[in-house]
Amino acid sequence: MEAMPTPAARRYPPEHFINRELSLLAFNRRVLAQAADERVPLLERLRFLCIVSSNMDEFFEIRVAGLKEQMKLGSHAISADGLSPDEVYRRVALEAHALIAEQYALWNEAILPKLHAEGVVFLRRSEWTAEQQAWIREYFVGEVMPMLTPIGLDPAHPFPRVLNKSLNFAIELSGHDDFGRTGGAAIVQAPRALPRVIRLPKSLTGVDYGVVFLSSIMHQHVHELFPGMTISGCHQFRVTRNSDLWVDDEEVKNLRTTIQGELPQRHFGDAVRLEIADNCSPVMAEFLLQQFGLDRDDLYQVPGIVNLVRLISVPDQVERPDLKYAAFQPGLPKVLTKRYDVFASIRKQDVLVHHPFQSFSPVIQMLEQAADDPAVVAIKMTVYRTGTDSVLLEHLLRAAQLGKEVTVVVELMARFDEEANLNIATKLEDVGAHVVYGVFGYKTHAKLLMVLRREENGYRRYVHLGTGNYHPRTTRLYTDFGLMTCNPEIAADVGDVFKQITGMGKAGELKHLWRAPFTLHSNIIACIKAETEAAKASRRGLVIAKMNSLLDPETIEALYEASQAGVKIDLIVRGVCALRPGVKGLSDNIRVRSIIGRFLEHHRIFYFYADGAERLYLSSADWMERNFFRRIEVAFPVLDKKLKLRVIKEGLRPYLADDSQAWDMESDGQYRMRRNKRGASFSAQESLLADMTTAV
């Protein structure tokens, strides 16, 4: 029976660890560097700029909100890095202000002028022609004004409940209306249903893409909302709120009902950040801070539009392939290149698919064929993030309608996908599928699909195990591996995982899979320690691991000990990393690098030399306490020697050789972009694109 592990006591001093929040901000700096990189196509630079804003939104909604909650409760808890919540917040505020200032400087001084030069022109109000003004006013009267609800602030109209991340305007008024009310201030929320960027006809602008912001249109015509009053100021503002759902373990009786009740409150959590335009008057800025219960450190005054995320639609609207990454057609593994039967192919050999360089279609085909195949009697699948209009959901629905036993583990606590997953659950239940919500208190993050098929010699199980979500759109944007196999031992392990999630009982021993919260952490620690013992005995010790985040203190301590014993350790960590590499006497043999490029690096690969046996696992789990102890995760081995070599060749070696999009972490925790001084450079992602895809 597998025992439930607990995190071990920490032995190393705080200076050996990097703060999580500061490391996350450092990651966003690396993303911002993509927006500044002139080698990146212009519209893709704009997209990276927007991604930083989107990332920062979530950073404030979750991480800063958590810090503020701790501070409000008077917590003096010290994290592994030795900082209290108050100290972390002070450092975060300084760094976040600096980062956002750099972001706006990049937009105003580099990207915006270059877009203008390419015929993508953001028309300023002060420069609108009479013809443009007439068109814009017609748009305002016909499309915008009917949806607006101006709220004048007085005893009968208190300050409204402002939605999280909504675009709003604070209006400064003077004069009296016909009721005798004295102007002072008013609030107007921009309609969420309208686009934030509106394209004008070419005949009015003389350029291919002449656009105006909805905020500019509202600024221009806001006086029409308050006839007879004098407007002395109109200021954009946006508030970010605590958006983390909180569920009381002791009070909850029905998780689904509880989450349905909590979701509406997400829009009105405690305020954590106020964004305003830099032309906002000090009086209005102070008034807004008071209304939201915020301090000056929470105020982000920006030179330009509030919320750069609203620009995210521009690259898709502009049909300029020369300003975007080149389109490509994903490839297929050789075993699937002809007209293929998925189950026949898997019976022939294990199939490894590497996204986005190889198509996600085999996974879709597996589910589609399972739904239609009379020999298939049951399908089981985990759903974490799959999209609201996923073709995979359509196949699951059809399979259930055709009478197959369909069981879906829907994770209701997938952050910001809770509502979508509730809708998926409802649709599945309506056609008779079995829907369960995992194990309360543990997120089901493992990516598993199992098909049970009746064949000549009895039932055979076909499984897909992945490092990423069953989300067709993100498989074009994220790097991930998926393994399709009918290996009876691995399939039996997957079956046992499903059985434990949907039912009850003790966790039995698994043959091949490492499973959180039971054996994943202990097995990783054991493998690191085995490399340590090998190095102490003068044998080769080598660990190579690729992941999104590295935070677990015990794992970091084990890596430090391995380094001191002489184990060579290469860590490819895209985002947050609390480990300090290259510290003399502590981590001399550890190298940490982060790859930031066209695709979001997402696969988790764990390699241990193991005296030449080369143990290699793929997983959905990062090396974090939450993944090890508060989630249902699996790590699965690649047993086929050829496929194992493929993972090493495609998932590890290119990333260790990259000198184009790689950032090396130094011992002080700072990242330095690696450049080939000889001129030529090697990009892992570009190399894989060239080798595995076809240009479109």
* Encoded tokens for 7: 């995190």
Question: What's the pLDDT score for residue 96?
Answer: 97
Alpha-carbon torsion (29, 34, 38, 41), positive or negative: negative
DSSP 543-580: EEEEES-B--HHHHHHHHHHHHHT-EEEEEESS-B-B-
182 versus 43: the higher-pLDDT residue is 43
Q: What is the mean pLDDT of residues 296-323?
A: 94
Question: What's the pLDDT score for residue 76?
Answer: 80
Q: Is the pLDDT of residue 263 over 50?
A: no
Q: What is the mean pLDDT of residues 307-322?
A: 94
Order across the sheet with 120-122: list the strands.
120-122, 209-213, 197-200
* Encoded tokens for 94: 């300084």
**Would you call 592 helix, strand, or coil by DSSP?**
strand
Question: What's the pLDDT score for residue 247?
Answer: 47
Q: Is the pLDDT of residue 326 over 50?
A: yes
**Angle 272-274-279 (CA atoms, 0-180°, nearest 5)?**
170
Question: What's the pLDDT score for residue 2?
Answer: 54
Report the amino acid identity of residue 505.
G
Q: How far apart are CA 36 and CA 613, in angstroms?
A: 43
Q: What is the mean pLDDT of residues 130-155?
A: 92
Question: What's the pLDDT score for residue 368?
Answer: 95
Classify domain 14-323 by CATH architecture.
2-Layer Sandwich (3.30)
Q: Is the pLDDT of residue 39 over 90?
A: yes
* Encoded tokens for 428: 């599945």
Which residue in 375, 372, 395 sits closest to 383, CA to CA? 395
Q: What is the mean pLDDT of residues 446-454?
A: 96
What are the tens digits of pLDDT across the range 196-236? 999 999 999 999 999 999 999 999 999 999 988 889 999 99
Highest mean pLDDT range out of 167-181, 217-231, 404-418?
217-231
* 329-508 and 515-695 in the same fold: yes
Question: What's the pLDDT score for residue 576?
Answer: 97
Quote the strand ranges of 117-184, DSSP E.
Answer: 120-122, 151-152, 168-174
Q: What is the mean pLDDT of residues 669-686?
A: 85
Count of C-beta atoms within a 10 Å radius of residue 36: 16
**How many percent of the chain have pLDDT more than 90?**
74
Q: Does domain 515-695 have CATH number 3.30.9.10?
A: no
Q: What is the mean pLDDT of residues 337-353?
A: 91
251 versus 340: the higher-pLDDT residue is 340
Q: Is the pLDDT of residue 51 over 80?
A: yes
Q: Is the pLDDT of residue 681 over 80?
A: yes
Alpha-carbon torsion (600, 602, 603, 605), positive or negative: positive
Q: What is the mean pLDDT of residues 618-625?
A: 97
Q: Where are the alpha helices (DSSP H) in 6-129?
A: 20-36, 42-58, 65-72, 85-106, 112-117
Report the amino acid identity of residue 654.
P
pLDDT bracket for residue 257 (50, 70, 90): low
DSSP state of 62: I
Determine the straight-line distance between the first and last CA of the chain, rounded to whole angstroms.
53
Q: Is the pLDDT of residue 389 over 90?
A: no
Q: What is the mean pLDDT of residues 567-590?
A: 97
Q: Is the pLDDT of residue 544 over 80?
A: yes
Q: Is the pLDDT of residue 353 over 90?
A: yes
Active-site hit among 445, 464, 471, 602: 445
Residue 606 CA to its chain's centroid (Å): 21
Question: What's the pLDDT score for residue 258?
Answer: 47
Question: What's the pLDDT score for residue 545?
Answer: 98
Q: What is the mean pLDDT of residues 674-696?
A: 87
The size of the chain, in residues, is 696
Q: Is the pLDDT of residue 679 over 70?
A: no
Q: What is the mean pLDDT of residues 403-407?
A: 94
Mean pLDDT for all residues in the chain: 90
What are the tens digits of pLDDT across the range 634-676? 999 999 999 999 999 999 999 999 999 999 999 999 999 987 7
The pTM score is 0.92
Q: What is the mean pLDDT of residues 560-589?
A: 97
Question: What's the pLDDT score for residue 259?
Answer: 45
Question: What's the pLDDT score for residue 254?
Answer: 52
- The domain ranges of the chain are 14-323, 329-508, 515-695
Count of C-beta atoms within a 10 Å radius of residue 258: 16
Q: Is 16 a catalytic residue?
A: no
Q: What is the mean pLDDT of residues 362-391?
A: 90
pLDDT bracket for residue 410 (50, 70, 90): confident
Classify domain 329-508 by CATH architecture.
2-Layer Sandwich (3.30)
